[in-house]
Amino acid sequence: VTWSITASGIVTAAIAILFILAINFITITYKPNLKKAQQNSTQATVELMNVATQTLQNESLKHMIRIQELLDVLGDNDGTLTKYEVTDKGNTVVWEALVPQAFSAGGVPALAGARPLPGIASDGRVTIQGTR
């Protein structure tokens, strides 16, 4: 009886050791196929770069620069930008500003082409309107 218990213990241990060795061998030699993941990653990177390129070519950057230019000029001349409207899919811009009466006749290059609108604001300034 002891002999059979010892033999069954040895056989069970041997099977367990063989099982562990087999699992380790499979784990060490297994090479995952990452080609699909690499293709997906490359495709996503290309799409991201295309979106980034389109964003940089977007008209919004041009409008932000123009708004800042108007704000700088108007701020230096006691003016206030009251409206900046982009219409026609970004092709047309209409802006309005309150400026002192002396600037309503022109003379400021950044405000070239702006025309005064009828009426005077309560603070004595004139509304001018420009397009681009």
Q: What is the pLDDT of residues 6-51, one digit of tens each?
A: 888 899 999 999 999 999 999 999 888 889 999 999 999 999 999 8
Domain assignment present for 52: no
Query: Virtual CA dihedral for 97, 99, 104, 106, nearest 10 degrees?
Result: -80
For residue 1, being part of any structural domain is answered with yes
Per the structure, how many domains does the chain have?
Answer: 2
Cα–Cα distance for residue pair 120/132, rounded to 1 Å: 24
Separation CA 86–CA 57 (nearest Å) = 17
Q: Give the pLDDT mean for 74-101.
A: 89
Do 84 and 21 belong together in one domain?
A: no
pTM beyond 0.95, yes or no: no
Mean pLDDT of the chain: 88
Residue 46 belongs to some domain of the structure: no
Domain for residue 47, yes or no? no
Instruction: Report how far apart, in Å, the C-alpha atoms of 73 and of each of 40, 59, 66, 108 are.
Output: 49, 21, 11, 8
User: Are residues 110 and 64 part of one domain?
Assistant: yes
Strands in 80-87's sheet, in edge-to-edge order, are: 80-87, 92-99, 126-131, 115-120
Same domain for 22 and 66, yes or no, is no
| Rounded-to-integer distance, Cα 96 and Cα 128, Å | 6
Containing structural domain, residue 22:
1-30
Whether 26 and 66 share a structural domain = no
Is residue 1 pLDDT above 70, yes or no? no
Does residue 51 form part of some domain?
Answer: no
Cβ neighbour number for residue 97 with a 10 Å cutoff: 25
